Structure 1
Amino acid sequence: MDNLEKLVITRRLRVPVDAPAGAVPGWGETAARQLDAALLSVGFTCSPALLGRLAELPGETVVDLGVRVLAAVRELVGDHVRHNAYFIDFPANVPDTLEFWAGLMREALLDPVAVDRVRPPVLDLLTLPGYGRYRHSYADLLAAHAELVPLAADRVTVLELGGSLEAEAAGLYLSLAGAETPLAAEDLAALRALAAFCADRPEQPERIPVRENRAVVNEARLAAGRPLLVDTVTDVLRLACGCSGGDVTLAVPTRFRSFRRAERRTLLEALDAVASPAALGDVQRHRERWKRLGERLHPHEYPHLARAARVFEAARGERRVVSLDGRVEAALSAGRTAEAVELLGNAPGALLRRLDHLLRTGSAPAVLDAAEKAAAGASGRVLLSLREHLQNRLAPAAGRVFTNRYGRAWTTPDSRPPLAREFLTRALAVLDEEITRRLPDPGELIVDPDVLDVALPLSGKAVAPGIGVLPRGSLSAVDGELFRFFVHWRQAARRTDYDLSALMLDASYGDPEHISWTNYGNGFATYSGDLVEAPDGASEFIDIRLAEATRPIIIPQVNIYDGEPFDEAAEAFFGYMTRDAAQEGRPFEPRTVRMKSDLRGSGRVALPFVLLRGDDGRWRVKWLHLYLKGFPHFNQVEGNRVTTSLLARSIVERDHLRVRYLAGLLRARGSAAAHTTYIGLEAPADPPPGSRVYTPGTLHELIPA
């Protein structure tokens, strides 16, 4: 139950409050005020409704709840660990890089034990005594820094009053399960816990469009003995992978467990119900997994389930089937685009995903006619993704950027011939009309201007949940004179060295310079010092004095120099703070944290965002959520600057589909309905009854079905 409570608090910024049976009010008001004061120290506060409700409870109940709430929000902003800095006075008194290295060498030469390390022919600077390990305690750091002076510009996030834990968990379950877009790995894990908790509740999602989400929900339904939600053979395969502790996305192989007889019968009956001759074409894509699953399900024990048995025959090659994709590819390879379009007529989503290629190889008017018919049958996410793709075909791009589900990215030159503007204009009009038709009636629409440049969350896979995190391509304003980004990690089993760095470029993405462990500072940026191991956790910082910055493009990155990948470390997260130039305080002050999220992904170099100075002189963050493959060891900012600049430029110059677009379509609908729709970065105080409120945490609910 505590995990569910934490999920609701961190994902919805709502505090579930259950009144214990027979509770006698006591000193709850005093305890509530104490909790609010503690929350303010980390940049949170209770809403008036939450304070009022807590005041009605016994003081002991408020204290117990407050301990859990405070722990959850401290972890949300990264204040659950001690953030020490290598240089105790950072950002003051950071030495020049060469001066620092020379000092370490002098120490080594005076140390009779260490002197052997600095003798020719090999000099490893990283092994010098005192390098890369804290030389002072966290208490020493605190003593060296004045207290932070709170300012009105500091972040204060409001925690709202929630209903009962059961009701709040059910609401979060319905939101995640019914999402029109794929979820991040953390959200998928949350959905698994919520589905198990809500399996017997009457409130269930009306539809689960994302197949991975459906597999996770089916795990809970199978365990509870409820009917499965299956309409393709691959749904059954995903479910079997999930039940075996494997990957429901089917990105990596799964070692299937032994299933109980009742489970085998349920899975085979579900498979038999959907294994039509046309569906067998999907088997070839995962034939090895199907063969392994057949060894566990024993379909020969169920001779009456003949259609299910044919799935495994197709996987073993005993039954020849040709998939729709195979027939389409054969037609396109032979130059028969019209035939490919006809084949795709019954797969509207697949047709629209191939629209660019079909327009370049076939008769554009005929292809557009087919696309117009297909638009009504495709998902809203496909329509929006195609809309973003086509609007970027109106102007030449610097390059094409590709990203996979793990955030790994690469770029290539754009060698595609341009599409005729008249065809693009017609296609965009068709998409706009269909998307508008599917949007809900907004009633009175209120949109916070700060949310207009937030990109629509067409996929959440590469975005780790946290605070202040926005979808890839979003733009968010930076308020403050000092911009400080940070990384914290703790190794699990072996020495691990992460390096926080920053690549700085001119307006044409050239003339690079950097801040890292090889260059501690320049005229406007300062590095906190390099740490090379983290058995108890380590933190690194880079301070940017924005008014003095001579480069308009700054790209922070985290390089794995050596040791455990991001997803194997015991803990790894990144974030940034902003503060006024007059504010001192510790290197890490939770109420100045504007963004924090976990680091994960299969790459060895993390690129969370790019910091941009616009023509108006204002600084903004554009979100990347990218990972570079990097090298197995010794990644440095100097070694990946070309790839980094190309990727950043491709994302920065791409015209992403943003809230501004959907808000325009919603306004165009016009309505006399009595309810209110609010879209903003934060929920409004006391919205009218019946209001629909969308914030970054629930923005996926705006994606039409």
Structure 2
Amino acid sequence: MNNLQINEVLLKRKQQILPSSILKGEFNQDLKIEVAQLNNVLMKLGYRLSYNLTQYLMMTTKEYILEVKVFLLKKIREMVGYAREMKPLFPNFPQVVSSMDVVDIIIFNIIYADLGFDRDAFDKVLNLFGIVEDEIKEEDKNISSNLKVIDIASLEDLQNLIIDMINSKTVYSKQDKKDLEVLFEYYAFDIKQILPEKIYFKENMVYIIKLFVVKGVDIKEFSYLLKTYTDILRLAVELSDGDTSLSQKTRFKNFTRRERKILLQLFDNCKVNLEDMLRHRQMYLRLGEKIHPGEYREKYSKAFKAFDMLRNNEDEIKRNTFNHKKEMYFKNRDISKILEVLESRPGEFARSLNRVLTSSENLHEDSFKVIDRFIKLADNVPIATLLSLQEYFLHRNDLESYRVFYPKGNISKVYALENNLQELDENLCSYAATSIQNKIIEILSKKEPLGKVFIDKSLEKYVAPLKMRDTSKTLMPIERGTRIDIENKKIRLFLHWVENTRNTDLDLSIVLYDEDFYEIDDVSYMNLKTNGCVHSGDVRSAPAPKGGTEYVDINLDKINEQCRYISVCINAYTHEKFYELQECFVGYMDLNKKLKTAYNPSCVKFKADLTSETTVSLPFIIDIASHKIVWCDIEYTSLGDINNIITNSNRNTMVVKSILDTYKPKMEKLARLNAIARGVVVDDISEADIIFTDKKDNLVDAIQNARIITPFDTEIISSELL
């Protein structure tokens, strides 16, 4: 297949492939067997071919079908986590663990600690210990009808994907960047022709500019996009492979003389804004050390003066900054001056609205007029921000014991503060939420019409993908807090990893909580079983190429009746960070049939790669009452010498509670607001021009004319709905 990397992007993001074979123009009946065999192996991985792709393949050649087969099997196995061997420590898991008493398990762990790395000796001990392989029963032949459909893509589909990604209204995730890099490799010239005059997020903008620079395009060609000092700083950070959110330190590269001149010219062309520089003073000073503005003080005099003022006149600059004025007016309790300064920056007004309303209430001002003044400026606030703000005021007085914060650009530094927020008048909160929603509808109404819109109720489970910057790579991209239906009462959690040069011990554990988040029990390497839960055993090394795998089987019908939530935890006992491993992924399977092996990719319902610079991961929570998986995707570094579920207990509980207590805009709301503003909502799916659903795979062949948008089409949502 030509452009394998392009097809990899399309397969991951759209479940499509772009064909490259020349058609013969007629069906070849002799190809039926090859196409059927391809479909058969795909079904075992949880996928199938669409009718359109089946038709296409039967008009190609055996050689081309083989190319498609090799490509699809390799990539889908990577996507669903199909590793070489994912055997549990105990043969015949989970039966053998369920039948062992506590004494047996303790003795087994002692033996394993000494002989676990000598597989031959370990197998002999298993036999002596009375653990033997039972006769394996044949796997059920029935294959689930709930399969993901691989469809055929057109060049127009590919171009639309590129346009949607460039026009994203959310910051790129790591996976977005990797995919864009591939697209630019093949289509950089064409992409340049469709580049808009404005790229919504500055972090996205500088990444796109960097991709062009790598392809040999001069930075000067993008000077029209770089309008502020911070834009140029972000570009310098991006060119140095740093954090363009500017929340972490960057070690700037040694720029060439040509690059230094270009950056200084860009600074010289901008309107002087010393406050912009003061916000990230240390970073600008380090950049100045790399581009040497003093060396070109005559040629780029404005740039030199700006850097010189920043270095030598910090206090003078501070006295005239926006933040200094804002904080002074808050301190003086001067609402009119607060509003006056905030109205110059609508985005900052949005972020400060709760604080202004609280101050206004305390001073007995007309707080409803404060909201009205904000709404007049809200056209200049991102829809994603307005959605989050509206959701906040809907639940403003649902006060919890503490508030949890996830710092931008570094979610691993999650922290909590005691919730001392003052309650606001319910009528005021309701007025704020209603006013903001009406403004969202007004802004959306200026976009292209949608026609007749059908909205599946299933979208209520999905959080709108507004902040995907630092999410883990998953089988299907979803936002934190999204709830996924558990389709069977029995599920199997899995953790697989392959170490690098030293023995690496990861631990898969679960913690059981009651309704009030008190710990009831746990299952881990220290406690292999409890009611309804069985652990597969403590794997303490995962050498390449096979790696190591741990499982936990859960029967939701047999769980302790006091249990409401189950938290899934991954701890790097030997303190390796996840990104240091060759491979590491976690997920769960739906045990809807008897399995021939411990791991069956066709049963995988969710899978996420762990690649962060941390040593603890809380991938998801099981809500037993609602029969749902709640996606957390929270990772942090353990502070203790021993890294397990006991030493991190308090922090884990805080994260679990915060995820379940946090209110975020749902995908159903985003779809409905767009439908109200831009179209007509219909109840009959057959009448729709646009279908919002999470069941695309069941509709691909049935509905040909309607456009289907799922919660996983993040590039479409970000580009067209926000």
TM-score relative to the length of structure 1: 0.89
Q: 6, 21, 32: which one pairs with 1:4? A: 6
Q: Look up the match of 2:302.
A: 307
Q: Look up the match of 2:347.
A: 349
Greater Cα shift, 147-156 or 337-346:
147-156
Give the deviation of 1:503 after TM superposition: 0.4
Q: 511, 517, 521: which one pairs with 1:509? A: 517
Pairwise mapping of residues 279-298 of structure 1 onto structure 2 (< 5 A)? Answer: 279-298=273-292
Whether contact under 8 Å (1:504, 1:512) holds in the other structure is yes
Distance 1:84 1:154 in 2: 27
Whether contact under 8 Å (1:271, 1:308) holds in the other structure is yes
Distance 1:326 1:338 in 2: 16
The RMSD of aligned alpha carbons is: 2.9
Other structure's SS at 2:154 match: coil
1:261–1:97 Cα change, 3 Å: same
Give the deviation of 1:306 after TM superposition: 3.0
Q: Look up the match of 2:684.
A: none
Other structure's SS at 1:264 match: helix
Whether contact under 8 Å (2:590, 2:605) holds in the other structure is yes
Matched length: 676
1:632–1:178 Cα change, 3 Å: farther
Corresponding position: 1:128 with 2:97: no
Give the deviation of 1:24 after TM superposition: 11
Q: Deviations over 1:606-662 (max 9, x none)?
A: 111111122xxx511122111244235422222333332332222213332112322
Corresponding position: 1:198 with 2:203: no
Corresponding position: 1:548 with 2:558: yes
Q: Deviations over 1:23-64 (max 9, x none)?
A: 999765543332222211211111011111122222212211
Corresponding position: 1:407 with 2:403: no
Corresponding position: 1:559 with 2:571: yes
Corresponding position: 1:576 with 2:607: no
Give the deviation of 1:521 after TM superposition: 0.6
Other structure's SS at 1:576 match: strand
- 1:648 is matched by which residue type in structure 2? V
1:318–1:669 Cα change, 3 Å: closer
Pairwise mapping of residues 84-483 of structure 1 onto structure 2 (< 5 A)? Answer: 84-94=87-97, 95-103=100-108, 105=110, 127-130=113-116, 135=122, 145-153=136-144, 155-164=146-155, 169-201=158-190, 202-205=193-196, 207-222=198-213, 223-225=216-218, 226-228=221-223, 229-274=225-270, 276-277=271-272, 279-299=273-293, 300-301=295-296, 303-318=298-313, 320-322=316-318, 323-362=321-360, 363=365, 364-404=367-407, 405-408=409-412, 409-439=414-444, 440=447, 441-483=449-491
Give the deviation of 1:104 after TM superposition: 5.0
Q: 57, 61, 75: which one pairs with 1:58? A: 61
Distance 2:25 2:640 in 1: 59
Q: Look up the match of 1:116.
A: none
Q: Deviations over 1:162-216 (max 9, x none)?
A: 124xx55543332222211123222233333434543311233564212211111
Give the deviation of 1:85 after TM superposition: 0.9
Q: Look up the match of 2:19.
A: 17
Greater Cα shift, 426-435 or 441-450:
441-450
Distance 1:670 1:248 in 2: 34
Whether contact under 8 Å (1:608, 1:626) holds in the other structure is yes
Distance 1:132 1:622 in 2: 39
Whether contact under 8 Å (2:164, 2:718) holds in the other structure is yes
Distance 1:297 1:646 in 2: 45
Distance 1:171 1:370 in 2: 38
- 1:630 is matched by which residue type in structure 2? S
Other structure's SS at 2:411 match: coil
Other structure's SS at 1:638 match: coil
- 2:326 is matched by which residue type in structure 1? V
Give the deviation of 1:255 after TM superposition: 2.6
Q: Deviations over 1:482-519 (max 9, x none)?
A: 11111111122322211000001122222420000011
Q: Deviations over 1:326-365 (max 9, x none)?
A: 3323332343343232111121011111111111123424
Whether contact under 8 Å (1:473, 1:622) holds in the other structure is yes
Distance 2:25 2:292 in 1: 55
Whether contact under 8 Å (2:690, 2:706) holds in the other structure is no
Distance 2:137 2:415 in 1: 45
Greater Cα shift, 664-673 or 230-239:
664-673
Corresponding position: 1:73 with 2:76: yes
- 1:679 is matched by which residue type in structure 2? F
Other structure's SS at 1:464 match: coil
Other structure's SS at 2:279 match: helix
Other structure's SS at 2:538 match: coil
Distance 2:658 2:71 in 1: 42
Corresponding position: 1:497 with 2:505: yes
Other structure's SS at 1:415 match: coil
Q: Deviations over 1:352-400 (max 9, x none)?
A: 1111111112342443233122212111111112112222213222431
Unaligned runs of 5+ in 2: 125-130, 682-686
Q: Deviations over 1:544-567 (max 9, x none)?
A: 011212222111111111131112
Whether contact under 8 Å (2:464, 2:711) holds in the other structure is no
Identity of aligned residues (%): 23
Distance 1:607 1:678 in 2: 33
1:407–1:247 Cα change, 3 Å: closer
Q: Look up the match of 2:622.
A: 611
Whether contact under 8 Å (2:25, 2:59) holds in the other structure is no
Distance 1:382 1:132 in 2: 56
TM-score relative to the length of structure 2: 0.87
Whether contact under 8 Å (1:246, 1:255) holds in the other structure is yes
Other structure's SS at 2:502 match: coil
Other structure's SS at 1:460 match: coil
Q: Deviations over 1:564-599 (max 9, x none)?
A: 11122221111111122x523211100000000111
1:641–1:251 Cα change, 3 Å: same
Whether contact under 8 Å (2:455, 2:668) holds in the other structure is no
Q: Look up the match of 1:592.
A: 603
Greater Cα shift, 57-66 or 312-321:
312-321
Distance 2:286 2:132 in 1: 57
Other structure's SS at 1:501 match: strand
Corresponding position: 1:623 with 2:609: no
Whether contact under 8 Å (1:561, 1:635) holds in the other structure is yes
Q: Deviations over 1:306-325 (max 9, x none)?
A: 33333422442357434323
Distance 2:135 2:179 in 1: 41
1:644–1:258 Cα change, 3 Å: closer
Q: 637, 659, 675: which one pairs with 2:645? A: 637
Whether contact under 8 Å (2:400, 2:419) holds in the other structure is yes
Q: Deviations over 1:397-432 (max 9, x none)?
A: 243121133433333331111111121111111110
- 1:544 is matched by which residue type in structure 2? I
- 2:330 is matched by which residue type in structure 1? L
1:668–1:10 Cα change, 3 Å: closer
Q: Deviations over 1:291-320 (max 9, x none)?
A: 232333343437343333334224423574
